[in-house]
């Protein structure tokens, strides 16, 4: 894997760490590394949840504009699909994911946070989609995931204006889920870790099914979404954890099951 990114696992939680100081600009190399990291944490049985973190100073201030500025239309026809598919690989990690946001999460950085299930931000964080200020639009899911998360009007405000929003405004509009007062970025990381620790030791296939049903259901009409839910629900009756969970409930009451992740 690239030296610009690392994957570390501790206590069932994988941390995908961006390592391209000073601003973690998301060049092609780091985009491809994100794809590889997403595949790794998806396949690893010792990973129950995932944190994406840019370090104590900054999450990611956007794409590498110097690299992108030299690309032609024909270059971008190819590259834009690779860019989107790398971010989609992160979005499709079938485990709970959270972005731990410090400093700037702008452009591609903001879009990367949108691929996660949850977002925890430092009080001084700034988020936004400033691509319009460069004469383009978001190209890694910003026009789609952002609108699904905060609604079309708020998404259009951010995309049309290119303005940055504070962590508190992001919380108010639903762009982030938690804001943390901090002395350093470690506080944000600790809060992100606390948010997903509850899923370690949980029923892995049920969590996977829940994520897929919710995410895929948002992309289709209600009847199709309900069919997706029904199929995922029925499939869990083939798992050992379903047997454990129901037997434990009958014998000991709710919340006492010891799942095996199988």
SS3 196: helix
Q: What is the pLDDT of residue 173?
A: 98
For 26-73, how does the pLDDT look when each residue is reduced to its tens digit (9 = 90+)?
999 999 999 999 999 999 999 999 999 999 999 999 888 888 888 889
pTM for the model: 0.94
**3-state helix vs strand vs coil in the chain, percent to 5:** 50, 15, 35
5-197: what fold? 2-enoyl-CoA Hydratase; Chain A, domain 1 (3.90.226)
Write down the catalytic residue from 56, 111, 169, 227: 111
Per run of 10 residues, the mean pLDDT along the chain (length 262 residues) is 94 97 94 97 97 96 87 87 93 98 97 98 96 95 96 98 98 98 81 97 97 96 97 97 96 94 90
Residues with Cβ < 8 Å from 89, sequence gap 6 or more?
34, 35, 38, 39
Q: How far apart are CA 89 and CA 212, in angstroms?
A: 13
Q: How far apart are CA 259 and CA 262, in angstroms?
A: 8
Write down the catalytic residue from 8, 32, 131, 229: 131
Q: What is the pLDDT of residue 238?
A: 97
Would you kindly state where each structural domain of the chain is located, as residue ranges?
5-197, 204-252
CA dihedral sign, ordered 220, 157, 160, 70: negative
Residue with tokens 């370090």: 55
Annotated catalytic residue 212: no
Annotated catalytic residue 111: yes
204-252: what fold? Lyase 2-enoyl-coa Hydratase; Chain  A, domain 2 (1.10.12)
Q: What is the pLDDT of residue 76?
A: 87
């Amino acid at each position: 894997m690239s030296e610009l990114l690392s994957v570390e696992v501790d206590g069932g939680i994988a941390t995908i760490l961006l390592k391209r100081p000073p601003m973690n600009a998301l060049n092609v190399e780091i985009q491809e590394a994100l794809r590889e990291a997403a595949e790794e944490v998806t396949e690893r049985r010792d990973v129950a949840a995932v944190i994406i973190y840019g370090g104590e100073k900054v999450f990611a201030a956007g794409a590498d504009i110097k690299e992108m500025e030299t690309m032609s239309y024909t270059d971008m026809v190819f590259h834009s699909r690779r860019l989107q598919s790398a971010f989609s690989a992160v979005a499709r990690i079938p485990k709970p994911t959270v972005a731990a946001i410090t400093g700037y999460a702008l452009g591609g950085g903001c879009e990367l946070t949108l691929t996660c299930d949850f977002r925890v931000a430092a009080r001084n964080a700034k988020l936004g989609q400033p691509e319009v200020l460069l004469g383009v639009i978001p190209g890694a899911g910003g026009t789609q995931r952002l609108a699904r998360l905060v609604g079309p009007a708020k998404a259009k405000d951010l995309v049309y204006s290119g303005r940055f929003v504070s962590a508190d405004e992001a919380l108010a509009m639903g762009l982030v889920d938690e804001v943390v007062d901090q002395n350093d970025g470690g506080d944000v990381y600790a809060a992100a870790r606390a948010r997903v620790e509850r899923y370690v030791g949980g029923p892995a296939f049920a969590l996977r099914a829940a994520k897929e049903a919710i995410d895929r259901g948002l992309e289709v009409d209600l009847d199709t979404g309900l069919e997706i839910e029904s199929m995922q629900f029925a499939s869990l009756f083939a798992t050992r954890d379903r047997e454990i969970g129901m037997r434990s409930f009958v014998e000991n009451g709710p919340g006492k099951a010891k799942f095996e992740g199988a």
